[in-house]
């Protein structure tokens, strides 16, 4: 029996992997049993050797018995699962806990963002609701006034002042338009005089028999051109001042008047709403509506009174400013025109000094008078 076992062990092939370790085969269990039987019934394995040979191979080698013991130990170690496989469930559990925490925090942040978005949407909705209600009331009041069914608050004295201001603005706009047209035409005339003077001066050099005559006319045109540029400086200053008065000062007052008229319409709309509710029933719901309407009415009344006071103050200051500006500008315009057409160059220059108007030197690159408007 021992011979059969030894022959079976001799014919078995022990595979070796790349690292010199034995591989695991399905015959590991049977090999271990056979080796146990050999150790029990056979001779001392420390003094024996096993002859190993491959199937069909001629090479033979001697394998020490100590390698068989190492084989048994490695076979047992191969049956134990690696430590990394034991730690995997723990790591997986940790990842699951971490993932659940991240999911919880992300869901909390998304809920907070949703609540903030919802709050903004509700606020915008309330604003649109108030705007729509106010627009409805004002439109209703406007239609009632147009058809003579609704009453409106009227300040006769203030309305008259506003109408005077609008009429004054229209007339001043006409003055401004005509003054700009005068500037345009006079600028073209000065340019023509300048070109004519240069032509006369050139002909005086090329026509000896008419040198004096061409020379006189060239000097006259150059003098007129110089005085014309001085007058253009005065007219341009006049136009600039009128433009500031009309398109800035008056326009600012008219903007305040538009705000006042809008507040007057809102005031009358809420006043009419309060009057309608006051004529209705006096139950709990109606009284709550009357209280809310009374609060809105008081808010609109305060706004209307404040803007009315602003309009009165601005109209007063505008009238004072208009008188000062027009007194100065009309005096400038009259003195400059009179001095120019009288041929009084000294008086024309004195007029510009009186009103602190400085002209640029002739050599400076400057835009035309029209471009400065």
Dump pLDDT digits (tens) for 230-239. 999 999 999 9
Q: What is the dihedral of CA 38, 40, 46, 50, to 10 degrees?
A: 0
The residue with greater pLDDT, 213 or 54, is: 213
Q: What is the pLDDT of residue 273?
A: 84
**Lowest-confidence segment of 83-92, 147-156, 273-282 by average pLDDT:** 83-92
Q: What is the pLDDT of residue 54?
A: 40
Residue positions counted in the chain? 373
Confirm if 280 and 149 have CB atoms less than 8 A apart: no
Residue 322: both structure tokens together:
């208009």
Q: Whose CA is closest to 249, among 303, 319, 354? A: 319
User: pTM for this one?
Assistant: 0.61
Confidence of residue 360 (pLDDT cuts 50, 70, 90): low
Helix (H) or strand (E) holding 62: strand 60-63
User: 287-296: which pairs have CB atoms within 8 A and are 24 or more residues apart?
Assistant: 296/270
Confirm if 180 and 173 have CB atoms less than 8 A apart: no
Using CB atoms within 10 A of its CB, is residue 250 exposed (0-12), middle (13-18) or buried (19+)?
buried
Q: What is the pLDDT of residue 307?
A: 95
pLDDT digits (tens, 9 = 90+) for 15-46: 444 444 444 444 445 444 554 554 444 444 44
The residue with greater pLDDT, 18 or 334, is: 334
Residue 280: both structure tokens together:
């209705």
**Is the model's pLDDT at 65 over the cut of 80?**
no
How far is residue 373's CA from residue 371's CA, in Å, rounded to a whole number? 5
Q: What is the pLDDT of residue 167?
A: 96
Give the chain's mean pLDDT.
76
């Amino acid at each position: 029996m021992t011979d059969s076992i030894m022959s079976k062990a001799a014919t078995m092939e022990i595979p070796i992997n790349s690292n010199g370790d034995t591989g695991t085969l399905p015959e590991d269990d049977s090999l271990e049993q056979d080796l146990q039987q050999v150790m029990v019934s056979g001779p001392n394995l420390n003094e024996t050797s096993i002859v190993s040979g491959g199937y069909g191979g001629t090479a033979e080698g001697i394998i020490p018995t100590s390698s068989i013991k190492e084989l048994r130990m490695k076979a047992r170690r191969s049956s134990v699962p690696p430590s990394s496989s034991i730690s995997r469930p723990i790591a997986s559990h940790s990842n699951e806990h971490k993932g659940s925490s991240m999911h919880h925090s992300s869901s909390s942040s998304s809920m907070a963002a949703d609540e903030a978005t919802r709050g903004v949407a509700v606020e915008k909705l309330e604003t649109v609701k108030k705007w729509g209600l106010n627009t409805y009331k004002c439109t209703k009041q406007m239609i009632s006034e147009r058809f003579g069914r609704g009453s409106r608050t009227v300040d006769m004295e203030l309305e008259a002042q506003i109408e005077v201001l609008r009429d004054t603005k229209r007339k001043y706009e006409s003055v401004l338009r005509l003054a700009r047209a005068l500037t345009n035409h006079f600028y073209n005339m000065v340019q023509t005089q300048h070109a004519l003077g240069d032509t006369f001066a050139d002909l005086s050099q090329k026509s000896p028999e008419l040198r004096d005559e061409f020379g006189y006319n060239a000097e006259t045109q150059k003098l007129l051109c110089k005085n014309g540029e001085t007058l253009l400086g005065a007219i341009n200053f006049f136009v600039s001042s009128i433009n500031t008065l009309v398109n800035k000062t008056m326009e600012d007052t008219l903007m305040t008047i538009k705000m006042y008229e809008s507040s007057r319409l809102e005031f009358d709309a809420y006043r009419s709403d309060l009057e309608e509710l006051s004529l209705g029933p006096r139950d709990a719901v109606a009284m709550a509506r009357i209280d809310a309407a009374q609060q809105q009415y008081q808010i609109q009344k305060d706004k209307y009174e404040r803007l009315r006071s602003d309009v009165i103050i601005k109209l007063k200051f505008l009238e004072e400013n208009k008188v000062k500006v027009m007194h100065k500008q009309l005096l400038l315009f009259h003195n400059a025109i009179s001095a120019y057409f009288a041929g009084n160059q000294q008086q024309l220059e004195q007029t510009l000094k009186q009103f602190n108007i400085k002209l640029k030197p002739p050599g400076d690159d400057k835009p035309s008078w029209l471009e400065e408007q």
